[in-house]
Amino acid sequence: MTTERLLIRGGLVIDPAQDLESVRDVLLAGGRVLAVGRNLSAHQPKARTLDARGCWVLPGLIDMHVHLREPGGEDSEDIASGTAAAAAGGFTTVLAMPNTKPPLDSAARLRRQLKAAAGRAAVQVLFTGCATRDQEGEELTDLAALAAAGIAGVSEDGRGLADAGLMRRVLELTRCLRLPFISHCEEPSLSRNGVVHEGRASHRLRLPGQPWAAETTMLMRDIALAELTGTPVHFAHLSCRQSVEAVRQAKLRGLPVTAEVTPHHLALCEDDIPGPDPSFKMNPPLRSRADRAALQAGLQDGTIDVVATDHAPHSPKKKALGMRRAPFGVIGMETAVAVVLTHLVHRGKLTRRQLVERMSASPARILGLRRKGSLEPGRDGDVTVVSPLESWTVPSRFESRSRNCPFIGRKLRGRVRATVSAGRIIHAL
């Protein structure tokens, strides 16, 4: 935490929590927001100044679905490189998934991760813990011990929890511990060896397909368990219209469910896969144009609460194995804001206020981060400064150690100009 005062001057402050969309100055001190108002510079002659004229000034963005790969996958990413990528993308807080090697399934392993993050992370890192030991789907972890050690959520991310009875027990425990459960919805007996969407993509590329029902079957089961147990469940990376509609109906019934979508599923579909390029291999896969339209509509009407990247770095060596053998996943933090601006906000499919809600306020609410998601005085001094109209071309090199990005070479409109964490500038162009 810094004692220096930072004055962010003349930007359009967009903060749904304060019902604010107006040109203001933002003053940070002691790692917190001290004031938001007009002409604050007249009273702060010694404050460091960040000129935000022509830019949007937003509460620090929160990515509630990232893979930092440490331990066990440091050739693809580690805490230092992953959080540098987060800072470059405007994210001031990230939630790391537990499917590391070994998985994060004990309090001792969590303490090691927290220590590593405290020493090397550029942004605040929160961690999820596994629901089952070694992520094998058989024996429950000591969730109470993990909660006491500081996990921010529970997930089996990377795979679904197939045993419905065990899933019920997990949800009953997470309800008591007041932790969100993040569900990776995939029925493995349906997805099997599918590497692209079962449909036009699988036929065109002559590759095994993964049907939409592999996702929605598991999602509907977990909606039923959320109703049975009364436990909040957050659904990761929705990809198809049937899942969107299932979540919509669950919300209409008052069930405690929330959902997220990735920038790549919002912007791309199966027709955008240029060929057998593993940078377009992700799980769930890119689906049809109709599915993409449903995801966009669901994000706009609030059925989908959050944009989360599912940042999944893999080294070039691993991705060079080809579509059938390469691991699933694409990186996304450094392009997320620009992709959402280019494909939704600038096309009238999402307002700028909704962007802030879906990328800051909603993830803060779901994760119970009461000091984040707003620029109200007293909140954490986390700020993202965005130049909304700036055009740029996505390069082939990133702050991330990996470059498995489907947007390389694409021209995007909108760019993060600065990222401020706890009152300190951690990224600036």
- The pLDDT, as a whole number, for residue 227 is 98
> Nearest 5 degrees, angle CA 408-CA 428-CA 81?
60
pLDDT in tens, 3-41: 689 999 999 999 999 999 999 999 999 999 999 999 898
Tell me where in the chain the CATH 3.20.20.140 domain(s) lie: 60-367
Per-residue pLDDT, 263: 98
Question: According to CATH, where is 2.30.40.10 located in the chain?
Answer: 6-56+380-397+413-428
In whole angstroms, what separates CA 74 from the centre of its chain? 20
Which of the following CATH numbers is that of domain 6-56+380-397+413-428: 2.160.10.10, 2.40.110.10, 3.40.109.10, 2.30.40.10?
Answer: 2.30.40.10
Distance CA 287, CA 334 (A): 23
User: What residues contact 345, with CB distance under 8 A and at least 6 apart?
Assistant: 351, 352, 355, 388, 414
Average of per-residue pLDDT across 208-236 = 98
In this prediction, residue 272 has a pLDDT band, given cuts at 50, 70 and 90, of: very high
What is the chain's Cα-based Rg? Answer: 21
pLDDT at residue number 2 = 53
Distance, in Å, from the CA atom of 193 to the CA atom of 287, rounded to the nearest integer, reads 16
Rounded Cα distance between 352 and 22, Å, is: 12
What pLDDT, in 10s, does the model give residues 84-111?
999 999 999 999 999 999 999 999 999 9
Query: Which amino acid does the sequence have at 404?
Result: N
User: How many residues can be counted in the chain?
Assistant: 429
Express each pLDDT in 275-293 by its tens digit.
Answer: 999 999 999 999 999 999 9
pLDDT at residue 238 tops 90: yes
Question: Is residue 310 among the annotated active site residues?
Answer: yes
Annotated catalytic residue within 105, 310, 380, 382: 310
Nearest Cα to Cα of residue 88 among 378, 367, 405: 405
What average pLDDT score do residues 313-318 get?
Answer: 97
Average pLDDT over residues 154-172: 94
pLDDT at 304 > cutoff 60: yes
With contact defined as beta carbons under 8 Å apart, do 93 and 126 qualify?
yes
Render 248-282 in DSSP notation, one character per residue.
HHHHHTT--EEEEE-HHHHH--GGG--SS-GGG--
For residue 418, which of 61, 80, 17 has the smallest C-alpha distance? Answer: 61
pTM for the model: 0.97
Rounded distance, CA 232 to CA 243, Å? 17
pLDDT in tens, 317-367: 999 999 999 999 999 999 999 999 999 999 999 999 999 999 999 999 999
pLDDT recorded at residue 74: 97
Residue 250 C-beta-side C-alpha neighbours within 13 Å: 30
* Per-residue pLDDT at 3: 66
Q: Which helix (H) or strand (E) holds 228?
A: helix 213-229
What's the confidence (pLDDT) of residue 425? 98
Of all residues in the chain, the percent with pLDDT exceeding 70 is 99
Tens digits of per-residue pLDDT, 35-85?
Answer: 999 989 877 778 899 999 999 999 999 999 999 999 999 999 999 999 999
Q: Which two tokens mark 220? A: 């509907």
| Cis ω for the linkage preceding 274 (within 30 of 0) | no
Q: What is the mean pLDDT of the chain?
A: 96
Nearest to 62 by CA among 29, 91, 104, 97: 91
What fold, for 60-367?
A: TIM Barrel (3.20.20)
116-135 pLDDT per residue, tens: 999 999 999 999 999 999 99
